[in-house]
Structure 1
Amino acid sequence: MYTSAPFFAVLFASSLLFAGLHRLLGNRLSYTSLFSFFALFAVWGYVFKSQIIVPILMFSYLYGIAICKDKSWLKTWQSVTLSLLPLILVKLHLNNHWGMIGLSFMTFRAVDVLLYRNKKDSRNFFQYFSYLFSPFIILAGPMYRWRSWVQDITQPNFRLTTAVFLQSMEQIFYGIVQKFLFAMLIDNLIISHWSHRPFTLTVGIVMSLAYSFYLYFDFAGYSNMAIGAGRLFGLNIPANFNLPILAKNPQDFWRRFHISLSEWLRDVVFMPIYMNLMKSDFFRNHKVTAQNIGIFCTLFCMGAWNGLELNYVVSGALFGGISVMHNMILWCAKRSQKITSWLNNPLISFAGRVLTLASAAVSLYIFSGMSPV
């Protein structure tokens, strides 16, 4: 969607028209209605023009679950499970008929509605529709939370000022450079040539570094374009990357890399697992064990939600295992002043940064499916 000049021409023209209509008709036509119309036109008319039946069925299915949850016909865990079911079947290749562009993040947004919305909000058909099918985040995020969405579209007015327009343009241009210059150069000059070579240690190192930088520039570029486009319409889509190359440790890395999904998984995977484990006497006396189980499951989901192919499962297990090891080091440091002093040594701190980035690069290389694993 962000790869064609006509899209950007329509985007800028639509944003100006959108802002004008909202200003002129604000007292008679709600911001939600205007944005719903744009979502219908941009997503269903552009993205899904060749497979319109599947998104219609998916929306009806998910909206029906939300209504049943509101009427207390379904418990929260039942509604979440039913919402995830189509995605799980597609990822397991048990029912590819439900497959559609953006299914994963649309499903996650539907789950976010079930967990964090007010009843009066979820019954608003247009709010729910335009949230699930927002054109800027439909393909690959960032993970735009329901509460932020409601806050944005219920603002009393939105004015596309010159400052907002220039900020949006700057972020979109920054994303274009990341995605279509840096990522494309890495792909064309390194990955396309090295990916077909027989695996050796040298190939593994080069491909780990090259794919990690490619993934960062490609995904960060897409995210910046989505954030900038959203700003043109008054939406505060969250930042998704914050220089992960500066990460001090695995925990810091996931605070900087795919931030929105990391935070969402923390809320919907780690916290429920940890809080339920803490109800047990054993885990109340062994909090670090409960933390490690929650950490591993959360980071495992970071890789495995893409599917149960070996590369996703192994990379997710590595994400989780590395983070658990780091958590155990922190746990030991709290109980030993000697270990704390050792970790604060500048050389050890620098080595930790290098090991963090190296382990992340290897995990992402496995995630790519181009490694021997």
Structure 2
Amino acid sequence: MQDFLPFSGLGFFIISFAFVLFLHLFKNILNKFITYKTLIFIVVVTYIYFCIPESYELFLLLLYVYIVYYIFVKNEYKETIFPMIVIAFPMILHKIDIANPMFKIIGISYITFRTIQAIVDSQNYGKLSFFEFTSFLLFPTTLLAGPIDRSYRFQEDLQKGYENLTFSNILKGWEILVVGVLFKFIFAELVYMFWLSKIDENSTALVDMINSAYSYTVYLFFDFAGYSAMAVGLSIMIGIFIPMNFNHPYLAPNPQDFWRRFHITLGSWLNDYFFKPLYKYLHNFSFLKGRKLLIQNLAITSTFLLMGMWNGLTWYFIFSGFLFGVYSSIHNSYVLYVKKGGFDYFSIFPQGLSINIKRFLMINGAVFALYFFSGRVPL
């Protein structure tokens, strides 16, 4: 069964390529008898039932979140905090590790975030049918580790039907898929075997800790970016244009740009559905009136704390998120300082050198934060 989990073994690739071949060979015939949306729904449900361990738990979660989704959308509920809490309840139980086994469901974090997004955006983009909702939440390529798609964008691809099944999209998807395979199964494995696994993570020697931090950062990029690229590439071949999740993040000169390049879809989700509402909400407090920078930095730090907790309620995830929040708040304060006429200390260097100094600071800051994220810090 493990061999058929998304991108976990040869079995998954065999059934995926067989489905892609079936779609493209028989699309003209299928188009006369079954809608693309219905076909994707049937394939998704069949895959979950036969290939995902304890699939009944996933279907129970689907039923729960759909009922909540339908109630809030049907009644045009405009507040976001309450539905977020209701939807996130199973995930919270999962994170604090006290729940019954029914809450130990693979992909629960991504399912939760997608459902919240679908509720919030239903006001502007309309609701999803049960078929669309199911396919969106349980789409196999993005089930375990994203990227986090948007419901209205996914719905558009379903409505386009078979027209996205073109030879050019096969080639486009194949190119991205191959890069993902190289990243995850070649580069990440080589980094792990010949670098990361050779380091004693319990060593308190400074050299070992630095080596561990950098090796994990390199490994994480190839592993996660590789998975994301495979998900995007295979989805395009099926006719679903999942958004890209990585764009040279270690070339970013500042925290804001870093999160526009690293796990892009999570950063975008947090910005739209947590940071912006929180920033607006904090303006309601009288003691924060007129303190725009403080409000921004409180919202920024809270957003990154949520990011840390989303990965797990352990100190190293939370502290890693806190560090990224501190980085972003410092950068935000510095940008405002320069805008108000403060001296830009990076301007004393030539432009090319200046941006590379910024990149050096950013990548080392990211390495430090991700070292804690790894849980390998010997504390």
Judge same fold: TM > 0.5, yes or no.
yes
* Superposed displacement of residue 162, structure 1: 2.4
Q: Distance in 1 between matches of 2:342 and 2:293?
A: 19
1:300/1:313 contact within 8 Å kept: yes
**Aligned counterpart, 2:58:** 55
2:149/2:265 contact within 8 Å kept: yes
Deviations 1:333-354 (A, max 9, x none): 1122533664765445432221
2:367 to 337, 361, 370: 361
- Cα 1:117/1:307, change in 2 over 3 Å: same
Q: Distance in 2 between matches of 1:145 and 1:213?
A: 28
Q: Is 1:83 aligned with 2:87?
A: yes
Deviations 1:142-183 (A, max 9, x none): 011111111111115325332221221111111111001111
Q: Distance in 2 between matches of 1:58 and 1:159?
A: 30
1:245 to 250, 256, 261: 250
Read off the aligned partner of 2:65 and give its amino acid letter.
L
**Aligned counterpart, 1:254:** 259
1:207/1:365 contact within 8 Å kept: yes
User: Can you give the 5+ residue segments of structure 1 that lack an aligned partner in the other structure?
Assistant: none
* Structure 1 vs Structure 2 CA RMSD: 2.1
* Secondary structure of residue in 2 paired with 1:140: coil
TM-score normalised to structure 2 length:
0.92
Q: Distance in 1 between matches of 2:258 and 2:76?
A: 41
- 311-320 or 300-309: bigger deviation: 300-309
1:240/1:256 contact within 8 Å kept: yes
Read off the aligned partner of 1:18 and give its amino acid letter.
L
Q: Is 1:265 aligned with 2:270?
A: yes
Deviations 1:183-217 (A, max 9, x none): 11111111111134512211121111110110000
User: Can you give the 5+ residue segments of structure 2 that lack an aligned partner in the other structure?
Assistant: 1-5
- 276-285 or 157-166: bigger deviation: 276-285
Deviations 1:262-308 (A, max 9, x none): 00000111100111223456545221111111111112222221122
TM-score normalised to structure 1 length:
0.93
Q: Distance in 1 between matches of 2:356 and 2:152?
A: 39
Q: Is 1:69 aligned with 2:75?
A: no
- Cα 1:344/1:288, change in 2 over 3 Å: farther
**Aligned counterpart, 1:141:** 146
**Aligned counterpart, 2:3:** none
* Secondary structure of residue in 2 paired with 1:285: coil
2:346/2:354 contact within 8 Å kept: no
**Aligned counterpart, 1:169:** 174
1:22/1:158 contact within 8 Å kept: no
- Cα 1:8/1:265, change in 2 over 3 Å: same
**Aligned counterpart, 2:43:** 38
1:204/1:371 contact within 8 Å kept: yes
Q: Distance in 1 between matches of 2:273 and 2:87?
A: 14
Identity of aligned residues (%): 32
Q: Is 1:228 aligned with 2:233?
A: yes
